[in-house]
Structure 1
């Protein structure tokens, strides 16, 4: 699977707030919390599903991976989503290890594994 997704009993807003708190503990910040539903609705397009896209970054990790391989910048910042699916709030992300297979760099893969574990831990703590 290219993604990791968990379910939570929290509302979209609560899940975003909890996730942001967990990310801060791992030194990741949310650069942008994009409300897709409101944006599309405000442009006159019908979209009824609550769907947030969070752009997440740890500056030290970004510097580290970019110094190793600038092509990783194509995948930055990390994306996480919080959305409603059949009445259930879900939190998900594309796995960094899946994305970096495209650059074929063993050191980047090792870095991605570490980052992925930390992001998954944040998601797991947020899904409780």
Structure 2
């Protein structure tokens, strides 16, 4: 089982990040955290390390309604929240890669039917955002 949903889009990096944020918002997700991996590499490992990586951001996203359902069913599920969405573009790339964690990976750690329902709902929403991003980038 793959643990990520991935789309590749012919959009500039900044535009892909912005549009990903907007589409996630349309699906009820908010961005709780943002890790600019490139700038972290630059600060901690040097400019060369950052340039080798390219542009790379990790968005920690959460849908409050789904999070409430998951945490009510199993408080330990907080260890798996928020869901991560990555937007990245290598230094010589002509496309941008957008990836979202597959929420079904949570189900592998729980026997709860409530967690299955939450994971399915989150999965549908994340896939919809990625599918829309990919379709928009084609037009």
TM-score normalised over the length of structure 1: 0.91
- Cα distance in 2 for partners of 1:99, 1:51 equals 24
Alignment correspondent of 2:83:
78
Structure 2's unaligned 5+ residue stretches are none
Q: 2: CA distance between counterparts of 1:100 and 1:52?
A: 26
Instruction: For structure 1, list consecutive stretches of 5 or more residues without a partner in the other structure.
Output: none
Partner in structure 2 of residue 99 of structure 1:
106
CA distance in 1, matches of 2:69, 2:116: 13
Give the structure with higher Rg (CA): 2
Q: How many residues align?
A: 128
Deviation at 1:61, TM superposition (A): 1.3
Q: Is the 8 A contact 2:106 2:115 kept in 1?
A: no
Give the structure-2-normalised TM-score. 0.85
Is the contact made by 2:32 and 2:60 (CA closer than 8 Å) also made in structure 1?
yes
CA distance in 1, matches of 2:62, 2:18: 16
